Amino acid sequence: MINIQQFHHIAYRCHDAKETAQWYKDHLNMELLVAISEDRVPSTKAPDPYMHIFLDAGSNNILAFFELPNSPTMSRDLNTPEWVQHIAFEIADRDELISAKAELEAKGIDVLGITSHGIIHSIYFFDPNGHRLELTYRSGTPDQMAELKRVAPLMLDEWSVTKKAPQHAAWLHTDEFNEK
């Protein structure tokens, strides 16, 4: 049986590896851990030079980027709304989220939110490569999380049949749920 421990890294593409590493250092205090550059892709042996950087995302989590100078200019998936694909980083609490929002805005970053999702609260912004980023803190109680886990299979089954938000999903954004 496969026993996943955690993510080792999640990799995205970037326009410029050096600029990306510096942006993440300056804006999210992420240290550059490793930079690998090769002329061939190790897994496929394809001749395709690249720079692969690894950034410390905290708690043994790694965010990685590839710069691919011989590939066409990168773009996002134009068939998917830009709010869907994103990288979410967890922070401690509401005070830290408020502080992070103020710090990012002071550095000239457009920030959306604070947005309540019932069990988490988040802000959203973009990195210089166009990747949407989220900073979030958990606000759900153990009882709320247990209830969400209980109804998750039911909601998924209903969605699979109707392709509409399940009726019992609306309670997630009610004041009663958010005040617990």
The pLDDT tens digits of the residues spanning 69-111 come to 999 999 988 999 999 999 999 999 999 999 999 999 999 999 9
3-state secondary structure of 176: helix
- Tell how strand 86-90 and strand 132-138 pair up: parallel
In the chain, the domains with their CATH numbers are 10-67 (3.10.180.10), 86-138 (3.10.180.10), 142-178 (no CATH)
Q: Please provide the size of the chain in residues.
A: 180
- Model confidence, pTM: 0.88
Q: Does 24 or 179 have the greater pLDDT score?
A: 24
- Average pLDDT value for residue range 115-133: 96
| pLDDT tens digits, 159-174 | 899 988 776 555 565 5
Pairwise CA distance, residues 138 & 136, whole Å: 7
Long-range Cβ pairs for the range 119-125 (8 Å, 24+)? 119/144, 119/145, 119/148, 119/172, 121/94, 121/97, 122/88, 122/97, 123/97, 124/83, 124/86
pLDDT at residue 169, as a whole number = 58
Structure tokens at 12: 């995205």
Percent of the chain at pLDDT above 90? 82
What is the pLDDT, as a whole number, of residue 21?
98
